[in-house]
Amino acid sequence: FEADTQFIPLDMDGQHRTQEVSALTCQLRCAGTPGCEHFTSWADGGCHISDSKSKREKAQDITTGPPHCPKDEKARQCCFVLGDNTEAVVRIGTSFISPTQALRALDKEIGDKSFETVRNEAQKAWRTQLSAVSVEDAGPPSATTLRRLEVFYTCLYRALLFPRRL
């Protein structure tokens, strides 16, 4: 959804302001109305739907959006209805093979785990990998020695990100 924007004229032919419980229900009204291209939702629940003849304008405390979130497989964007929340939890799976493989990896590796659980498991896994190598004598404690260790462990981390067999 897009904040602080409205479409003018507010209502397409044959439509008038309705009262909806949220921007999402306003979007659903737009999706169910033939010819609707945009919805405009006010904080007080007011909902207007408009067609392709409407033009975007800046406006305070008004939310707008399309009748549907994009379904194009090439587009990686969507509408988020956060309400009073300021954060969204996004789960992402990756694969060099296919979107189906990425979804399988996501389900296998993340599943229904919370963000905190995934973060803690990742930290533990990285500590295990990075502690497999220890530097016995990096030199005297100094800024130069700490910098050398930082470079070493950064390179080790990067090598472990995409391991290859030689």
Q: What pLDDT digit, counting tens, does each position of 2-60 carry? A: 888 889 999 999 999 999 988 888 999 999 999 999 999 998 889 999 999 999 899 88
pTM as predicted: 0.46
Short-list 42, 67, 44, CA closest to 54: 67
Residue linked to tokens 């008038």: 16
Per the CB < 8 A criterion, the answer to whether 67 and 36 are in contact is: yes
Mean per-residue pLDDT over the chain, rounded: 85
Q: What is the DSSP string of 72-92?
A: -TT--------TT--------
- Please tell me the predicted confidence (pLDDT) of residue 158: 87
State whether the Cα torsion 71-74-75-76 is positive or negative. positive
- Please tell me the predicted confidence (pLDDT) of residue 15: 93
Residue 163, pLDDT > 80, answer: no
